[in-house]
Amino acid sequence: MRAFLSVIVAVWPSAATAQVFGLSGVPSDLASLGSECADGRAAACRALAARYATDSDLPADRDVARQFLEAVCDELGYVAHSASFAVFRAAQRRARPCYRTLSGLLRRGCDSSRAWDCVRLASMVRYGAERPRDLRRARSLLESVCQSEAAGAARGSACEQLGELYEGGEGVRRGPARALTLYERACADLPGSCARLGALHEAGRLGPRNLDAARRCYRRACHAGSTSACGALRAIEER
């Protein structure tokens, strides 16, 4: 199985470390499911995630359920780039029930003002993971987080995705100036997103070319750990 198993193992620790994760004393059937899930059995992962999503008596928190669900849904829906469209659609159908459970969990979190849950839910709605795409709803969810002063890095992610909608004209009238403003707001809250803004300034795609602004954005993203931004910054400074 692919790298998603590392997520499963990380949130389903051995008995020696279970207490650290708040999982000590889980029922024996759950311990068995956890072992099977860590061995790569998707059915066990789905069952385990569903239990954490719906059983209020379990000691683990809802974030564990979300991590299980995200990993398993992505595994079910994964299709290699070389696969045919028919294979892609079959994988989508296979993953849909899993995403439906995940969206319910995210919806409850979003209704409780958990900003990251709103952002993740918006992504699912935007790309049609659970049901047909709903760009209007995705935009509404992203706007609510992007405008929130208390959302922190989640606000940066929401503004970045909202900028993508305006840059590409997805469900809205294409607005380069609006997209640029949103990307700038994202860069302020989420330094890793500054690389995109730097590339736009360097290419002059959403406005006049501005190498000074590109340099500032690349530098901020580079300091946040983006190796591609570090490379782009070096390329500009060596000209």
What is the per-residue pLDDT across 59-77, written as a single tens digit (0 to 9) for each?
455 666 677 677 767 777 7
- Residue by residue, DSSP assigns 102-163 as HHHHHHHHHHTT-HHHHHHHHHHHHHTSSSS--HHHHHHHHHHHHT-TT-THHHHHHHHHHH
Domain with 81 in it: 1-112
Q: Is residue 66 part of a domain?
A: yes
Q: Is residue 98 part of a domain?
A: yes
Each residue of 10-63: pLDDT tens digit?
A: 443 333 323 323 334 445 566 677 667 656 566 776 676 666 656 655 545 566
In a domain, 233, yes or no: no
Q: Is residue 54 part of a domain?
A: yes
Nearest to 145 by CA among 137, 134, 156: 156
* Rounded average pLDDT over 84-88: 75
Residue 33 within a domain: yes
pLDDT at position 57 is: 55
Number of domains forming the structure of the chain: 1
| Mean pLDDT across the chain | 78
Residue 151 has pLDDT above 60, yes or no: yes
**Residue 160 counted as domain residue:** no
> Has residue 52 been placed in a domain?
yes
Q: Which of 49-58, 100-109, 197-206, 225-234 has the lowest mean pLDDT?
A: 49-58
Say if 120 falls within a structural domain: no
Mean pLDDT calculated for residue range 119-125? 92
